[in-house]
A and B are shown apart, each in its own frame.
Chain A
Amino acid sequence: GESVGLHLPTLSVQEGDNSIINCAYSNSASDYFIWYKQESGKGPQFIIDIRSNMDKRQGQRVTVLLNKTVKHLSLQIAATQPGDSAVYFCAENISWGGTSYGKLTFGQGTILTVHP
């Protein structure tokens, strides 16, 4: 069945280090991927997205890499800060062909802890 999973449930880094969070997906038909950050007691916050016709996309301090051959997605955070501590989810958008249907399938999440 379709699934989105994460290799590492927890990641602990020092402030200033670069962080890499990985995600595997199983549905070859997926055409859109999103990374979300969720802090305790809050809803998921959009970080960055990438479409299946791209391999890499950069934002402010973040980069998402997509490898369709092995169905792998990663989020790189440069110069990680204590404020980056949160749970990070990758989500897979499965289009059913309608004009607006977009069911997000989430992985279980990776807990990122940044130590000062």
Chain B
Amino acid sequence: ETGVTQSPTHLIKTRGQQVTLRCSSQSGHNTVSWYQQALGQGPQFIFQYYREEENGRGNFPPRFSGLQFPNYSSELNVNALELDDSALYLCASSLAGLGEVQYFGPGTRLTVT
């Protein structure tokens, strides 16, 4: 176990709704990254948070947003859900620095109908 936890485990939403996913990082880690993993694909980088600020973003629209809190936990918010947003959302925590290993949580399975 990595010590990274995510909630909820599964979620079903309707197209157009909004969703918030949560992540608690491993003890001592100050950086959280979010990834989207579609079925049969590798994870795709969404964005990273360091010291409560976004520190890099992948090719995802603005309706994907996030927060990091003083205790380094994080939220991923997705507005105006689309069917293609159905995926496994993974959170990874790491310690700031170049080339540090990112440790993943179990993910949240989001289904949009």
B-binding residues in A (CB < 8 A): 4, 31-32, 34, 36, 41-46, 49, 51, 89, 91, 93, 95-96, 98-109
Q: Contacts A51-B99, A93-B99, A109-B42 given; 5 further ones with Cβ under 8 A?
A: A4-B42, A42-B107, A98-B55, A102-B102, A106-B43
B90 in contact with A96 (CB, 8 Å): no
Set of chain B residues within 8 Å of A98, measured between Cβ atoms: 50, 55-56
> For the complex, what is the distance from the CA of A42 to the CA of B104, rounded to whole Å?
9
A-binding residues in B (CB < 8 A): 2, 4, 30-31, 33, 35, 40-45, 48, 50, 55-56, 58, 90, 92, 94, 96-107
B107 in contact with A43 (CB, 8 Å): yes
> For the complex, what is the distance from the CA of A111 to the CA of B35, rounded to whole Å?
20
Cross-interface CB contact of B31 among A42, A44, A100, cutoff 8 Å:
A100
In the A-B complex, the 7 residue pairs with the smallest Cβ-Cβ separation, listed nearest first, are A106-B42, A32-B99, A100-B96, A43-B104, A100-B50, A101-B56, A44-B104
**Known A100-B96, A104-B33, A109-B42; contact A46-B103, beta-carbon cutoff 8 A:** yes
Q: Which residue of A lies closest to B107 (CB)?
A: A43
Cross-interface CB contact of A43 among B40, B50, B56, B106, cutoff 8 Å:
B106
Cross-interface CB contact of A101 among B43, B48, B101, cutoff 8 Å:
B48
Q: Which residue of A lies closest to B106 (CB)?
A: A43
B96 in contact with A44 (CB, 8 Å): no
What's the nearest-Cβ distance from chain A to residue B104, in Å? 4
B96 in contact with A49 (CB, 8 Å): no
A95 in contact with B98 (CB, 8 Å): yes
Q: Which residue of B lies closest to A46 (CB)?
A: B101
Q: Which residue of A lies closest to B45 (CB)?
A: A103
> For the complex, what is the distance from the CA of A62 to the CA of B70, rounded to whole Å?
37
Q: Which residue of A lies closest to B4 (CB)?
A: A43
A102 in contact with B99 (CB, 8 Å): yes
Determine which residue in A44, A49, A51, A108 has the highest number of CB atoms from chain B within 10 A of its CB, and name it: A44
Set of chain A residues within 8 Å of B30, measured between Cβ atoms: 100
